[in-house]
Structure 1
C-alpha cells in the first residue's frame, strides 16, 4: 500500500504541473508599469521572435514589473529585445537577475535566478520565453 502512495503522489504532481507552469498564466502588471513598457517600445516595430540573443551584445537590462525583461543592445541601439518569461519573473525588478554564463547566448527555456546579492539568497527563478526584437525605424 505504501508503494502505491509514494508512486501516485509524484505522478499526480507531474500531471498537475503542466497546467500551473505552461506559460499560459496571465502575468498581472500595473497600469504604471504597462505605460513604462508602452513608452519604451513606442516608435518601434515588433519583429519575428527569436529563441536566442547574444549575451555579449546586451548593454543594459530593464525590468518592468513581473512581466517584461527588456535587453538593450550596444551594437545596435535601435533594436531592443523583449522577453516575457513563462509565468513572469517575480521580484526581478527589486533584486538581481542572475544567469549562467556557460554559453555566449541567452536562450528560450534558460532559467534565470532572482537573487538578493547582499544576503546571497535566491528569491525566485524564471524561465525565458522567445525574445521579440523591437526596432526603431527612424530617430
Structure 2
C-alpha cells in the first residue's frame, strides 16, 4: 500500500503544473528558467526515471527537470496548444521519452483534451561552473 501511495504521489507531482511567472512573455519565461545554464548538444531521448518535474511554458516549450540538467523540448508541432495548467499524457512502453512521441494535453480542471504536441529534440541545459 505504501508503494502505491508513493507512486501516486510521484505521478501527481509530475502532473502538477509549476507556478510560473505568468507576467512574463513565454520566451522571457523560458530564458529566466534556463538563466545561468549552458545548452548542450541536442539529444533524441531522455530517461524519465531521472525527471523530477515537468513545467510547461505557454505556447513555447516543455521543461523536464532532471536535477542537474534541464531538458527543454520545443515541440515540432502543436506548441500553440501548450498551456501551463494542462496535464501532459504520454503512452510509453519504455522509461524513455523520445523525439517522435506524441503528447496529449488535458485541461486539469475539466479533464478534456485540449491538444497534442509532437516532441522535437531535447536540449540539455547545465549550470555554468
Q: Normalized against structure 2, the TM-score is what?
A: 0.74
- Mapped pair 1:67 → 2:60: yes
Q: Which residue of 2 aligns with 1:84?
A: 74
* 1:125 corresponds to 2:116: yes
Secondary structure in 2 aligned to 1:39? helix
Alpha-carbon distance between aligned partners in 2 of 1:120 and 1:31, rounded to the nearest angstrom: 27
Q: CA deviation at 1:116?
A: 2.8
Per-residue CA deviations over 1:78-131 (Å, capped at 9, x if unaligned) read 211000001315143221111113211000010000013554422211110000
Match status 1:36 vs 2:26: no
Q: What does residue range 1-139 of structure 1 map to in structure 2 within 5 Å?
A: 32-73=25-66, 77-87=67-77, 88-138=79-129
In 1, Cα distance between equivalents of 2:51 and 2:111: 24
1:42 Cα deviation after fit? 1.1
User: Normalising by the residue count of structure 1, what TM-score does the alignment of the two structures yield?
Assistant: 0.69
Are the aligned partners of 1:89 and 1:125 in contact in 2 as well (CA < 8 Å)?
no
Tell me the distance in 1 between the aligned counterparts of 2:84 and 2:112: 16
5+ unaligned residues in a row in structure 2: which ranges? 1-22
> Runs in 1 of length 4+ with deviation above 6 angstroms?
none
Report the secondary structure of 2:33's partner residue.
helix
- Report the alpha carbon displacement of residue 65 of structure 1 after superposing the two structures with TM: 1.1
User: Given the superposition, is the C-alpha separation of residues 109 and 92 from structure 1 closer, same or farther in structure 2, using an over 3 Å criterion?
Assistant: farther
Unaligned runs of 5+ in 1: 1-29
* Secondary structure of 2:26 counterpart: helix
Residues 101 and 92 of structure 1: CA distance in aligned 2, closer, same or farther (over 3 Å):
farther
Work out the number of aligned pairs and report it. Answer: 106
RMSD after superposition: 1.8
Alpha-carbon distance between aligned partners in 1 of 2:33 and 2:53, rounded to the nearest angstrom: 13
